[in-house]
Amino acid sequence: MPTEGFTNAAMQWGTDMEPEARAAYEFYRAEEVEQVAFATFDTACRRIT
């Protein structure tokens, strides 16, 4: 399986800023974000209800 992929400046910025964005979301929503590798729409909806 190939491990190489495409990235550009915008994608790198998103990767770099994700921890800060996650912390801000947790703070303003008073919620803890659970990081997962992959979630389908069905899985996400079941967790909300």
Q: So what's the pLDDT on residue 23?
A: 97
Residue 2 lies in a domain: no
Q: So what's the pLDDT on residue 45?
A: 65
Residue 17 lies in a domain: yes
Dist CA 45 CA 43 (whole Å): 5
Residue 40, domain extent: 9-48
Token pair 């729409």 is at which residue?
41
**In which residue ranges of the chain is pLDDT below 70?**
1-3, 43-49
Q: So what's the pLDDT on residue 36?
A: 86
Residue 3 lies in a domain: no
Residue 27 lies in a domain: yes
Domain count for the chain: 1
Please report, for residues 7, 32, 35, 38, the alpha-carbon distance to residue 42 in angstroms, rounded to integers and kept in the order given: 29, 20, 17, 12
